[in-house]
């Protein structure tokens, strides 16, 4: 039954998803696209885009959208897909919530401990590695287009990627503004040139 599978998968992702939503992307993609085939790679990429544009933490938004879409793709009606959203959202939250309640007292009490500082010194670069893995997961034909068959989309995607990176990294432009401008540009561009 897909509901039990979603509960187990997102509980596991929640407990091992250190580093927040971006670090969870490769975990979620591995489970829902590669392992269980609940979503196509294109659907997963679209869900990431929608999750980034909606308010709230990326990992929780992803869980919500993945739960809905997975259940809908399994042939259930929209009312059951909403139950899938609720299950995945709560599943990704419940174990980390309990863990943080248990650990927060220890962290506050021993924040100056050399052992705790050592643990965090190792976790920081690991989290960056997880986020880099998530970026590589998104560098696919669904996101950029295939250079052999979709040259215009591929070239435009590279230009947009570079422009967004430079705007945010170098000039500190708001990511929300970048997403809004990209949406308007995409609407205008693809209304002139069909996708």
Q: What is the pLDDT along the chain (195 residues), one digit of tens a residue?
A: 899 999 999 999 998 876 677 878 888 999 999 999 999 988 998 998 889 888 889 899 999 999 999 999 999 999 999 999 999 999 999 999 998 888 888 888 888 999 989 988 998 898 888 888 878 888 888 888 888 888 888 998 899 999 999 999 999 999 889 988 988 998 898 888 765
- Alpha-carbon distance of 70 to 89, in angstroms, equals 13
- Alpha-carbon distance of 19 to 128, in angstroms, equals 8
pLDDT score, position 92: 95
Q: In Å, what is the CA distance from 82 to each residue of 6, 42, 65, 87? A: 13, 21, 9, 9
What's 77's DSSP letter? -
pLDDT score, position 81: 97
- Alpha-carbon distance of 122 to 1, in angstroms, equals 39
The alpha carbon of residue 16 and the mean position of all alpha carbons in its chain are separated, in whole angstroms, by 14
Domain edges within the chain = 2-109
Q: In Å, what is the CA distance from 96 to each residue of 12, 81, 104, 130? A: 10, 24, 11, 18
The alpha carbon of residue 61 and the mean position of all alpha carbons in its chain are separated, in whole angstroms, by 8
- Alpha-carbon distance of 16 to 96, in angstroms, equals 9
Q: In Å, what is the CA distance from 146 to each residue of 41, 47, 76, 121? A: 14, 20, 33, 39
| Of 3, 4, 98, 19, the residue nearest 59 (C-alpha) | 19
pLDDT score, position 130: 80
Q: In the chain, what is the straight-line distance between the N-terminal and C-terminal CA atoms, in Å?
A: 37
């Amino acid at each position: 039954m897909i509901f039990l599978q979603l509960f187990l998968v997102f509980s596991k992702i929640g407990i091992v998803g250190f580093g927040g939503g971006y670090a969870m992307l490769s975990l979620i993609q591995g489970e829902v696209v590669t392992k269980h085939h609940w979503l196509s790679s294109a659907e997963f990429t679209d869900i990431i885009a929608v999750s980034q544009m909606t308010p709230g933490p990326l990992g929780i938004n992803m869980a919500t959208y993945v739960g809905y879409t997975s259940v809908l793709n399994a042939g259930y009606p929209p009312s059951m897909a909403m139950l899938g959203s609720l299950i995945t959202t709560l599943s990704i939250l419940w174990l980390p919530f309990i863990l943080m309640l248990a650990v927060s007292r220890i962290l506050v009490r021993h924040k100056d401990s050399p052992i705790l500082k050592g643990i965090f010194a190792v976790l920081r670069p690991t989290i960056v590695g997880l986020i880099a893995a998530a970026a590589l997961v998104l560098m696919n034909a669904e996101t950029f287009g295939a250079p052999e068959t979709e040259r215009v989309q591929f070239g435009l995607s590279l230009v947009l990627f570079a422009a967004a990176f430079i705007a945010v990294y170098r000039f500190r432009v708001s990511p929300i503004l970048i997403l809004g401008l990209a949406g308007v540009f995409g609407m205008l561009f693809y209304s002139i040139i069909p996708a």
